[in-house]
Amino acid sequence: MTDVLDTTLSTLLPASDDPAGWVDAACRADPEPDRWFPFPTEDFAYARDVCHHCPLRTRCELFARATGQSGVWGGKEFDRGREKRA
């Protein structure tokens, strides 16, 4: 079951310039990784709340913008690096 988590958030996060830093990610090993990739009609309150308590929040958001990520990063939802919802 851990493999499922490792192929979603955990495989995206180490793509940053400081993979070791992502060990502090609040979403690491979260039991519901799909919550970071909501459908357009779905709210992302769960992911936003986890991100709110994450020490990497600012870095995460900047990473998403700089590398064109989609999904919830730093408590905001992005589509190919563009902020969709906050």
Under the criterion CB under 6 A, does residue 38 sit at the interface with ligand SF4? no
SS3 78: strand
Q: Which long-range contacts (CB under 8 A, 24 or more apart) does 4-10 make?
A: 4/33, 5/29, 5/30, 5/31, 5/33, 8/33, 8/34, 8/36, 8/37, 9/33, 9/36
Question: Per-residue string for binding with ligand SF4, 6-35, x by CB under 6 A?
Answer: -------------------xxx--------
Give the nearer residue to ligand SF4 in terms of CB position, either 13 or 39: 13
Give the nearer residue to ligand SF4 in terms of CB position, either 3 or 53: 53
Which of 10, 33, 44, 60 is close enough to bind ligand SF4 by CB under 6 A? 60
Q: Shortest approach of ligand SF4 to residue 17 CB, angstroms? A: 14
